[in-house]
Amino acid sequence: MSNEHFQGKFEVELKYRFESKTCFLDVLKQVPHEIMLEDNLESDCYFDTPDKSLRQQNKSVCIRTMEPSGIKLWIVKGPEATEAL
């Protein structure tokens, strides 16, 4: 497993719903892959200005803490390209 979570300017994340983590991992074992953070739990702490101007612009800023890895990420989102017009 790599010791680096992410090295680059942008990260693309895909999210899926599945019925069973065990079944998903059984299928994943059949294809080449690298599991980086399988058992981490994430917690987010969001920030905004007192007048909520980020929220009004459909933007968000948060610090994500991941345990037990100890990784902390600064995440800035929005507005979506379709919302920026």
Active site residues: 46
Q: What is the DSSP string of 17-50?
A: --S-HHHHHHHHTTS----SSTT-EEEEEEE--T
CB-based contacts of 37, cutoff 8 Å, min separation 6: 5, 66, 69, 71
